Structure 1
Amino acid sequence: MKLSVLDQSPVLTGMSPHDALQQTTALAKWADQLGFHRFWVAEHHSTNSLAGSSPEILTTHLAAHTERIRIGTGGVLLPHYSSYKVAESFRVLETLYPNRIDLGVGRAPGGMPNVNLALNRGEIPSIEGYPAQVEELIAYLHGKDPQDMGIFASPQGDTAPPVWMLGSSGTSARVAADIGVSYSFAHFINGYGGARAMDRYTNNFQPSLQQQTPQGNVSIFVVCAESDEQAEYLAASLDLALLKIEQGGIRHHFPTPEEAFSYPYTMFEEQRIRENRSRMVVGSIEKVKSEVESLANYYQVDEVIINTIVSPFEERMKSYELIADAFQLRESVASESFHF
């Protein structure tokens, strides 16, 4: 089974956005050394607690600072942009780093409603045209001229970055199947119904210019530590962060475990935290390995993407290391290099 990383460049307590992006860079290098398969970065706008607003630029930076791991976007929010421009940006990336770039796309706004207006010159983008926009994007990536305008996306080349459609519902799964792209289900956003969505994608997949068979993965929050007790302590900060996100609270940073344990939770909030645990795997090395394997089996996929947000940063790095060692990722990479 392949394991990958999703990083949202969280701004931790006492840190700046500069620190957050430096931590993303350090984590990408670490994930590369540990043997993770891919490293994706997200797109969020007008938020103080997440520093990643331009994943295509961050992807360029990370690819230059890593050697083996696939680097990509999780994802570019396509309705905000021109398919042609996105295709050219990723054709440049593919030319610089052939066979290492992924283009994950989504249709979410990426922030509060006014973000839509700011990114689209005062207008609300149409999500109804999203499927056609994805098809247009794929065509440009593969050197086609979908609008018969006598143009192509440059620079041209023999390889193209694969498009992954990101989603958290059955609707996105069916769109990915109809278009014929890979599909990534965001279990860390929606902890229910994902297996049905993946099944819908697999059973309805149509071959395309990009690929002939379905390919899916699932992403989830994970907190791993030496013991269940330590993992629960670290995960308390993520519990509080998710709660505040749902309540629409203004966040300037991701809280520390100490802040989480001193927070005066109501009975309703405690119940909501328990419900949110459906979006997370928390525990010791053995527990996390077992639950991640069960998740992959539940979704019938061979890849799980892990999103870990804990404080301090060193504990985040340690969590990924424990997971990598539990799945013997470093040994797998060493074996592949030897056979090559």
Structure 2
Amino acid sequence: MKLSVLDQSPILSGMAPSEAFRQTTELAKHVDQLGFHRYWVAEHHSTESLAGSAPEILLPHLAAHTTNIRVGTGGVLLPHYSAYKVAEMFRVLETLYPGRIDLGLGRAPGGMPNVNLALNRGKHPQVEHYPQQIEELMSYLRGEDPQGMHVYATPKGESAPPVWMLGSSGTSARLAADLGVSYSFAHFINGYGGTRAMDRYYDYFTPSVQQTEPHGFVSIFVVCADTEEKAEYLASSLDLAILRIEQGGNRTGFPTPEEASKQQYSVFEKERIRENRGRMIVGDPSQVKEQIEKLARSYNVDEVMVNTIVNPFEERLRSYTLLAEAFQLA
């Protein structure tokens, strides 16, 4: 089974954003050496807890600092942008790093509601045009002229980066199937209904120029440590961070486990933490391996993308090392 990495470039408590990018670079180099399959960076706007607002810029930096691992976006939020411009950016990337680039697409706002207005010159994006945007983008990537205006995405080349649809619902799964592209379900965002969405993707998949067979994977939060006790301790900071996001509270940095251990939770908050654990896998290497394999079987996939956010950063590196050892990655 393949293991991959999703990195949201988290800004840990007391850290500058520049340090978050330094850690992203170090982590990419680390997992490249460990044998992980792909490394995706996310797009988030107007937040002080996640540094990655422009994955299309961060991506070539990471490609230049790694050797074998595929690098990509998880993802570019297409409704905010011109399909033609996105195609040209990724034609450049494919030309620089042929065979190593993934183009993951999403349609979420990428932040609070006003982000939509800021990114779209005071207007709300027309998300109903999203399927047509993707078709236009794919056409440009293949060197075609979808608008019939004698306009092409340059530089041209023999290969094109594969398009992935990102989603957390059956709607996105059906769209990926209809377009004949690969599909990634964000279990770390929505812990319910993912297996049904993936089944829907497989059931309705239509072969396309990009691929003749369906290809999907699932993304989930993972915290792996040498012992179950330590893993639970480290995961407590992620419990608190997610709870704060749900409550619309302070999002200026991911807390430490020490801070989480001092937190007093209400009965309702404890229940929310318990519910949110459905979006995580936490434990020692053998426990995590067993749960990841079980998750992959339930989704009928041969690849799982891991999102690990723990504080301090050294424990994050250790978590990925333990995963690589448990799965005997090459």
State the TM-score, normalizing by the size of structure 1.
Answer: 0.97
- The CA deviation string for residues 23-66 of structure 1, in whole angstroms up to 9 with x for no partner, is 00000000100000000000000000000000000001000000
- The Cα shift of 1:210 comes to 1.0
Task: Give secondary structure in 2 for the equivalent of 1:222.
Answer: strand
The letter of the residue matching 2:243 is L
Task: Give secondary structure in 2 for the equivalent of 1:252.
Answer: coil
Q: How does 1:74-223 map to 2 (within 5 A)?
A: 74-223=74-223
Task: Give secondary structure in 1 for the equivalent of 2:217.
Answer: strand
- The CA deviation string for residues 219-261 of structure 1, in whole angstroms up to 9 with x for no partner, is 0000000110000000000000010111111311000001111
- Whole-angstrom distance in 1 between the partners of 2:184 and 2:167: 6
- The CA deviation string for residues 162-200 of structure 1, in whole angstroms up to 9 with x for no partner, is 000000000000000001110000000000110000000
Residue aligning to 1:311: 311
- The CA deviation string for residues 299-323 of structure 1, in whole angstroms up to 9 with x for no partner, is 0000000000000000000000000
The letter of the residue matching 2:269 is E
Task: Give secondary structure in 2 for the equivalent of 1:88.
Answer: helix
Q: Report the number of matched residues.
A: 330
Residue aligning to 1:45: 45
Structure 1 vs Structure 2 CA RMSD: 0.5
Deviation above 6 Å: which 4+ runs of structure 1?
none
Q: How does 1:177-326 map to 2 (within 5 A)?
A: 177-326=177-326
Residue aligning to 1:338: none
Residue aligning to 1:336: none
- Whole-angstrom distance in 1 between the partners of 2:214 and 2:149: 31
Residue aligning to 2:67: 67
- Whole-angstrom distance in 1 between the partners of 2:328 and 2:66: 20
- The Cα shift of 1:116 comes to 0.5
- Whole-angstrom distance in 1 between the partners of 2:191 and 2:277: 8
- Whole-angstrom distance in 1 between the partners of 2:249 and 2:86: 32
The letter of the residue matching 1:29 is K
Matched, 1:33 2:18: no
- The Cα shift of 1:141 comes to 0.5
- Whole-angstrom distance in 1 between the partners of 2:131 and 2:265: 42
Task: Give secondary structure in 2 for the equivalent of 1:298.
Answer: helix
Task: Give secondary structure in 1 for the equivalent of 2:283.
Answer: strand
- Whole-angstrom distance in 1 between the partners of 2:317 and 2:184: 24
Task: Give secondary structure in 2 for the equivalent of 1:129.
Answer: helix
Residue aligning to 1:16: 16
- Whole-angstrom distance in 1 between the partners of 2:249 and 2:134: 33
Task: Give secondary structure in 2 for the equivalent of 1:276.
Answer: helix
Task: Give secondary structure in 1 for the equivalent of 2:306.
Answer: strand
Query: Structure 2: 5+ residue runs without aligned partners?
Result: none
Task: Give secondary structure in 2 for the equivalent of 1:128.
Answer: helix
- Whole-angstrom distance in 1 between the partners of 2:278 and 2:270: 14
- The CA deviation string for residues 115-154 of structure 1, in whole angstroms up to 9 with x for no partner, is 0011000100011110111111111001111111111100
Instruction: Give % identity.
Output: 72
Task: Give secondary structure in 1 for the equivalent of 2:104.
Answer: strand
The letter of the residue matching 1:76 is V
- Whole-angstrom distance in 2 between the partners of 1:13 and 1:110: 21
- The CA deviation string for residues 267-314 of structure 1, in whole angstroms up to 9 with x for no partner, is 100000000000000000000000000000000000000000000000
Task: Give secondary structure in 2 for the equivalent of 1:74.
Answer: strand
- Whole-angstrom distance in 1 between the partners of 2:201 and 2:126: 23
